[in-house]
Amino acid sequence: MKLTPKQWIFFLIVAIIFVLIEAKGLTQVGPGDENVYFYMAKMVSQDQMPYKDFLYVHPPLHIFVLAALIKIFGVNFFILKSATLSFLLTASFFLYALCLELFQNKFNDKNANLISVISIILFLSSFTTLFTATFSVGVELSVMLMMISFYFVFIKKYFVGGIFAGLAGLTRFYALVPLFALFVFIFIKKVQEKKFKDFLKLVAGFLIIFGTVMIILTALYGHNFIDDAIKYHFLKPKLPGQRTTVYENVIKENWIIIVLFLLFLFAENKNRLQLFLFAIIIYLLFFLSLNVPAEFYLILIFPLLALVGAYSLVNLITRIKLKYLKYFLTALIMLIFLWNTAADVMFLEKIGFLPFSSLNPMISKVSATSPDSKIFGDASIAPLLALMSNRNIALNYIDTNEMTFTSGLTNFYIFTNNLDNVNLSYIIFRKNYGLHQIEQFRQYAQSRCKFEQQYSDILEGEFLLYKCNKEI
């Protein structure tokens, strides 16, 4: 779609404000799942492969994109985090273009520009989006590719839309859920229109990318790929308490986009929103069914929630006949939004973007060991220390999420027997998280290594460093 100069200005203003809010986060390095993907990407850049040389519980596109950046720029955290930010900005652009295509070109809505701008503001200002924008967990790339797919389908470039749908699925499998809704919607529509070839083009584009890569991965890595990327997710044990906490946090932190989304119940012309409502409902049912959900999984449907919410809000406000009431409600909504967004931004500045105070002391400890020694430990911190100290992870076991053991994907006793034969310098735990919650690992660290030091961080909590009794 070709944007007018005014439309470009609106988008760029929102994008620049978003970048300025996130700028500090681009420079902060600390514990988190992203370090797992950065370390894996480094391995891929050195010609090692997921499912063969190391365990990887997702489809491969995310770490291959990161590996390409590392190949060009080296392990540059600013570049890697900036890429994540750019994925969300690109997703917001295609959300913007999709809204204009839908409300301006298809429905000739006089409020199309306003709806489109509000939609990207809602998407980019949601707390989970703000918090995750500089934290590379893969969902950012998948939501970008998904929104590109939605856009191309809406402009009737079905084959291209299918290709991007396939790429989204090769980033994270859960992206296939809203895309499934898209495919079902298009199938029904094209059957009614007797234009089934359009649907076949969509499917063909998807299968050429997704199907081909899945066949190749299965042929190359067999049960390793199936066990790691697919079977593992069905083996995760249920964590009822965690699920409830996640649901509560999602609602509490993102209540504005949720409330505005629910306004569709009172909006006119709901048929305009059929696809997006269908995709949202299907994905929410999927999310509620997960044994171990994560808040950031929902970013995938935040653009759709924003689109529905923006349309519903504008639709309701414009239907109010009393001018004074209309102006009052508009002003009230703006004040509430600005207050909530300001609070979220202040939280990020004061807490979310705090530097990790224990990083340099821990790096110094690890860097003092022999270059050929290995480290092992919690997935949130061990890969980061390995990257910063130029050391390797023992047994190439990077993603030490405790559920890789509790699910049975990895046998604890076989793993520790292999670990006994490694030139191990340090084991690092995050207290009361991850591996530290598994009693066998705590006992193993105490028997193989000696507790050396505890590091405390105001945001991240406590980390326990065990110096191995000997280097083999």
Per-residue pLDDT of the chain in tens (472 residues, 90 and over written 9): 789 999 999 999 999 999 999 999 999 999 999 999 999 999 999 999 999 999 999 999 999 999 999 999 999 999 999 999 999 999 999 999 999 999 999 999 999 999 999 999 999 999 999 999 999 999 999 999 999 999 999 999 999 999 999 999 999 999 999 999 999 999 999 999 999 999 999 999 999 999 999 999 999 999 999 999 999 999 988 876 788 899 999 999 999 999 999 999 999 999 999 999 999 999 999 999 998 999 999 999 999 999 999 999 999 999 999 999 999 999 999 999 999 999 999 999 888 898 899 999 999 999 999 999 999 999 999 999 999 999 999 999 999 999 999 898 999 999 999 999 999 999 999 999 999 999 999 999 999 999 999 999 888 899 999 999 654 4
| Residues 383/408, Cβ–Cβ less than 8 Å | no
Alpha carbon distance 120, 142 (integer Å): 17
Sign of torsion, CA 113 115 116 122? positive
Nearest CA among 424, 421, 420, 447 for reference residue 369: 424
Q: pLDDT over 90 for what percent of the chain? A: 93
Sign of torsion, CA 66 68 71 74? negative
Look at the block and give the residue holding tokens 């609602």. Answer: 251
pLDDT digits (tens, 9 = 90+) for 358-402: 999 999 999 999 999 999 999 999 999 999 999 999 999 999 999
List the domain boundaries for the chain. 5-352, 359-468
Contacts of 267 (CB under 8 A, 6+ apart): 273, 311, 312, 315, 316
- Specify the pairing of strand 449-457 against strand 461-468: antiparallel
Alpha carbon distance 150, 368 (integer Å): 51
Alpha carbon distance 18, 10 (integer Å): 13
Contacts of 214 (CB under 8 A, 6+ apart): none
φ/ψ of 52, rounded to 5, equals: -110, -55
Alpha carbon distance 407, 320 (integer Å): 55
Alpha carbon distance 343, 125 (integer Å): 11
The b/e string for 183-193 (b: 16+ C-beta within 10 A; e otherwise) is bebbbeebeee
Q: In a 3-state reduction of DSSP, which class is residue 391? A: coil
Question: Is the model's pTM score more than 0.85?
Answer: yes
Which helix (H) or strand (E) segment is 20 a member of?
helix 5-22
pLDDT digits (tens, 9 = 90+) for 82-141: 999 999 999 999 999 999 999 999 999 999 999 999 999 999 999 999 999 999 999 999
What is the distance in angstroms between the CA of the first residue and the CA of the last residue of the chain?
62
